[in-house]
Amino acid sequence: MAHSANFWDKIAVKYSKRPVGNEAAYQQKLQKSREYFRSDMEVLEIGCGTGTTALSHAPFVKHIRATDISSEMLKIARDKAKAQNIKNVTFEQSDIDHLTVPDQSLDAALALSLLHLVENKEDVIKRVYKMLKPGGYFITSTVCLGDNMKYFKLIAPIGKFFRLMPLLKIFSAKEMETALTDAGFEIDHLWQPEKAVSIFIIARKVPST
């Protein structure tokens, strides 16, 4: 965690000023997510970065607990919340392994541009599954380089070793989908924008029978 946190701390200001790569796709993901939100929902966002998405969704839910490993990212997020007078989003520094969330306490969880940056996405997915109430939603947007950019498997470890980039895992969109269904989710919505390497999925925790 320390190496990744340091990486994101160093680029936080630059990252916050960088425009969204595909604004139309980003807005479509926001809009689709809101179709699943209700005003009484308790939501967790893992890897919230500078808080843009959490603050955008804040008017549509009761509360968002937004976490990130980077203290510098969170400073920017808190400044944004204050400037926008948004009070139903709380920011805290934590990774998924040290996050305390009671089982079956959340209505929805978000992990956007995150699951390719963790050591074991399956472990994260299983943890989120336990946190969600039956019927709760896990909303993800994940870079899947295994479909057409497999050479990153050679580059990523070198970049991490020289501290030029964070941990980056290479897997396919199908592997991402399978990881969710194997954990007990059913895929309610799946979308991959044209020419994009990211796959956007809204998965529902199947209630036990």
Residues 20-33 pLDDT 10s: 878 999 999 999 99
| pTM of the predicted protein model | 0.89
For residue 149, pLDDT over 70 is answered with no
CA distances from 169 to 21, 56, 59 (A): 21, 28, 33
Fold of the domain built from segment(s) 2-205: Rossmann fold (3.40.50)
Rounded to whole angstroms, how far apart are CA atoms 180 and 194? 22
Q: Where are the domains of the chain?
A: 2-205
Specify the pLDDT at position 193: 86
59-73: pLDDT as tens digits? 999 999 999 999 999
Residue carrying structure tokens 């919230």: 48
